[in-house]
């Protein structure tokens, strides 16, 4: 399961969403929090995200560990990858999506995260952590490659905070081959049974909205906002 979060990671407004994710895990939770996307922001900000994640999940009553992967050297360290491999819930907090992608791509860390998914675990990404999971991610001067765990989509977090004119510009720049999935703050788009090739059982993924906001599906045909509950398979409309 993927959880694509618009904003609000580790804050009280996300407790209900994260409790729901933990309940659906189907196993004894073991959470690891990676502050990687904040790796360029200095030690104080990295420590802030690390403490916030541990405090949040400890308050939810589950085992949690900070895994301080903040640069390419630590992402290549097999010892940290082994720590991730022992978890079943990985959380990527926010920061710079381009830095996060470059740090993790083709690394033992990313291989370990993929292994968690393959074993039926959860990968949650908030803001930058969500953006890197689409097929492409938005960044100046344009669209950049991402990990493609949600093929055919570009994940736009903080969607309720983006002026409509700016989001319209993003839509124009995507062309017709990408669907924008705009995720509001304190909201998660859950992708169930989504294989890394974009296919779940029977060739379909299952999509669900959790949280106080909504998810906007915006392709070349329509712009539709969905709130709490099961969401239609947007890939049928591409």
Tens digits of per-residue pLDDT, 90-144?
999 999 999 999 999 999 999 999 999 999 999 999 999 999 999 999 876 778 8
For the domain covering 2-237, report its CATH number. Answer: 3.40.50.880
| Res. 28: pLDDT tops 80 | yes
Distance from the first to the final alpha carbon of the chain? 22
Q: Given this model, what pLDDT does residue 38 score?
A: 97
Its pTM surpasses 0.75: yes
User: What is the residue extent of each domain of the chain?
Assistant: 2-237
């Amino acid at each position: 399961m993927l959880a694509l979060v618009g904003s609000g990671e580790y804050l009280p407004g996300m407790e209900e969403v994260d409790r729901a994710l933990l309940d659906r895990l189907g196993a004894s939770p073991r959470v690891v929090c990676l502050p990687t996307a904040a790796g360029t922001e200095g030690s104080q900000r990295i420590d802030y995200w690390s403490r916030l994640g541990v405090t949040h999940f400890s308050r939810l009553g589950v085992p949690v560990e900070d895994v301080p992967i903040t640069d390419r050297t630590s992402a290549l360290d097999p010892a940290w990858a082994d720590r991730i491999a022992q978890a079943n819930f990985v959380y990527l907090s926010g920061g710079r999506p381009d830095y996060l992608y470059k740090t993790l791509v083709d690394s033992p860390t990313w291989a370990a995260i993929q292994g968690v998914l393959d074993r039926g675990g959860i990968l949650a990404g908030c803001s930058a952590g969500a953006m890197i999971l689409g097929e492409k991610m938005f960044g100046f001067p344009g669209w950049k490659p991402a990990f493609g765990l949600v093929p055919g989509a570009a994940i736009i977090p903080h969607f309720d905070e983006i002026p409509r004119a700016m989001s319209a510009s993003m839509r124009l720049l995507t062309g017709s081959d990408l669907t924008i999935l705009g995720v509001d703050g304190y909201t998660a788009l859950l992708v169930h049974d989504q294989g890394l090739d974009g296919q779940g059982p029977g060739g379909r993924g299952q999509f669900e909205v959790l949280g106080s906001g909504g998810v906007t599906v915006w392709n070349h045909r329509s712009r539709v906002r969905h709130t709490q509950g099961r969401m239609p398979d947007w890939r049928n409309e591409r």
